[in-house]
């Protein structure tokens, strides 16, 4: 890798912890270690800012940058980003997520940033929204591509559905990557998570409607098992999901663990990871499960099938179909041979096709292109 000691700034909407934040953190940490001048701009404070502080990476808060749509807040964010960019004069601005991408790419152009990279962590016009909303988002995404010099998409599918058919020469496919990471021993991990004996499904990391935790709860209630369900993470849906679990009569078998630091190191404690999402890009949590030898059930949304090949590296089900998801959970619970086969195939697939080193190398090369 040859960062050429550039000044590189990253921009992302939220400073919590998810796949996009992990992506920004990994790139920022790597470039810092190689001598680049790195800064990260984001809304609020959270796990991302804590991890950046541990690595002595500069964090610049954008106070008005929030996920919810607010014209006044977005205008404030826009002018604040322009002010920072004009003052700092980075060589590269790498924007991430749809809102930060749109605001940041235009702000970068106005501020005269020489190189603007946008990573699309899933196209938001694919989310289940009213037609008018998706049309407006498509237009906004088009202009994000227009204002960026290069756009990174995470899969060939994301390339094909990009809202800029005349600008596809700007698009480059670079999958997210993962490096091997340590796992706690089974017994210690179970103790850390306060899990009882028996079979545990796991889901979560962010409790938002797109993640389909409600669908997973309905499926879990219908599955023919006496298993338990671990739900990781925090988010706006927490209270509603707890009420739903109680209404379904399964609250005694569901553990809402909240935010768990370094949760992936505890994946040795779980028997199956379930992703019931309504919308995804290329979910990093599935790579973490694969690296941990955990079998996976996932909905066929976004680019999930790049990771989960049905009956080979996991079980793939239709989105928003609790009955189909329940049947898959019953199969996984009942068939140890199936679990063993798909987890080994998934682990090999992740190791072979989703290298963190490859992701970093291919991304940093874009920083130096004319």
Per-residue pLDDT of the chain (370 residues; tens, 9 = 90+): 554 558 999 999 989 888 899 999 999 999 999 999 999 999 988 899 999 999 999 999 998 786 556 677 788 999 999 999 999 999 999 999 888 888 999 999 999 999 999 999 988 877 767 887 788 888 888 999 999 999 999 999 999 888 877 788 899 999 999 999 999 999 999 999 999 999 999 998 889 998 999 999 999 999 999 999 999 999 899 999 999 999 999 999 999 999 998 999 999 999 999 999 998 889 999 999 999 999 999 999 989 999 999 999 999 999 999 999 999 999 999 999 999 999 999 999 999 999 999 999 999 999 987 6
Burial level of 212, CB count in 10 A (0-12/13-18/19+)? buried
CATH architecture, range 186-353: 3-Layer(aba) Sandwich (3.40)
Burial level of 345, CB count in 10 A (0-12/13-18/19+)? middle
In whole angstroms, give the CA distance from residue 133 to residue 6.
Answer: 38
What pLDDT score does 98 carry? 82
- What pTM did the predictor assign? 0.90
Length of the chain: 370
In whole angstroms, give the CA distance from residue 193 to residue 206.
Answer: 17
Three-state secondary structure call for residue 118: strand
Q: What are the structure tokens assigned to 95, written together?
A: 């924007």
Delimit the domains of the chain by residue range. Answer: 7-177+355-367, 186-353
Closest C-alpha to 123, from 150, 144, 108: 144
- Same topology, domains 7-177+355-367 and 186-353? Answer is yes
In whole angstroms, give the CA distance from residue 31 to residue 282.
Answer: 23
What pLDDT score does 64 carry? 75
Q: Which CATH class is domain 7-177+355-367?
A: alpha beta
What pLDDT score does 197 carry? 96
Strands (E) across the chain are located at: 7-14, 37-43, 58-61, 92-96, 115-120, 150-153, 171-173, 200-206, 228-234, 254-258, 272-275, 296-299, 315-317
CB 147 within 8 A of CB 106: yes
CB 330 within 8 A of CB 339: no
Three-point CA angle 202, 208, 214, nearest 5°: 60
Closest C-alpha to 315, from 332, 303, 301: 332
What pLDDT score does 205 carry? 80
What pLDDT score does 246 carry? 98
- For the beta carbon of residue 297, count every other beta carbon within 10 angstroms: 26
In whole angstroms, give the CA distance from residue 21 to residue 252.
Answer: 33
CB 82 within 8 A of CB 110: yes
């Amino acid at each position: 890798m040859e960062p050429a000691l550039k000044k590189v700034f990253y921009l992302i909407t939220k400073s919590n912890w998810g796949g996009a934040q992990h992506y920004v953190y990994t790139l920022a940490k790597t470039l810092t270690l190689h001598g680049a001048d790195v800064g990260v701009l984001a809304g609020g404070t959270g796990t991302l800012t804590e991890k950046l502080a541990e690595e002595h990476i500069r964090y610049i808060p954008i106070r008005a940058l929030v996920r919810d749509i607010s014209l006044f807040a977005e205008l404030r964010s826009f002018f604040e980003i322009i002010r920072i960019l004009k003052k700092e004069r980075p060589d590269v601005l790498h924007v991430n997520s749809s809102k930060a991408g749109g605001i940041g790419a235009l702000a970068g152009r106005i501020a005269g940033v020489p190189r603007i990279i946008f990573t699309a962590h899933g196209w938001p016009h694919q989310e289940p929204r009213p037609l008018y909303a998706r049309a407006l988002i498509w237009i906004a995404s088009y202009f994000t591509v227009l204002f960026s010099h290069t756009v990174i998409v995470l899969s060939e599918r994301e390339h094909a559905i990009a809202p800029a058919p005349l600008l596809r020469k700007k698009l480059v496919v670079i999958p997210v990557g993962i490096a091997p990471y340590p796992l706690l021993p089974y017994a210690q991990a179970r103790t850390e998570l306060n899990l009882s004996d028996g079979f545990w499904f796991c889901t979560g990391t962010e409790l938002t409607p797109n993640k389909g935790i409600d669908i997973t709860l309905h499926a879990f209630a219908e599955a023919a098992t006496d298993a338990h369900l671990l739900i990781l993470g925090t988010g706006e849906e927490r209270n509603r999901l707890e009420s739903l679990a109680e209404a379904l009569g399964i609250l005694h078998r569901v553990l809402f663990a909240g935010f768990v630091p370094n949760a992936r190191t505890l994946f040795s404690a779980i028997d199956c990871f379930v992703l019931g999402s309504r919308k995804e890009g290329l979910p990093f949590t599935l790579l973490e499960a694969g690296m941990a030898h955990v079998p996976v059930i996932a909905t066929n949304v976004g680019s999930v099938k790049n990771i989960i090949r049905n009956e080979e590296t996991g079980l793939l089900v239709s989105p928003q179909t609790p009955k189909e998801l329940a049947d898959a959970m019953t199969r996984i619970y009942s068939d140890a041979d199936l679990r063993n086969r798909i987890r080994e195939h998934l682990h090999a697939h992740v190791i072979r096709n989703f290298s963190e080193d490859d992701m970093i190398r291919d991304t940093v090369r874009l920083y130096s292109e004319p």
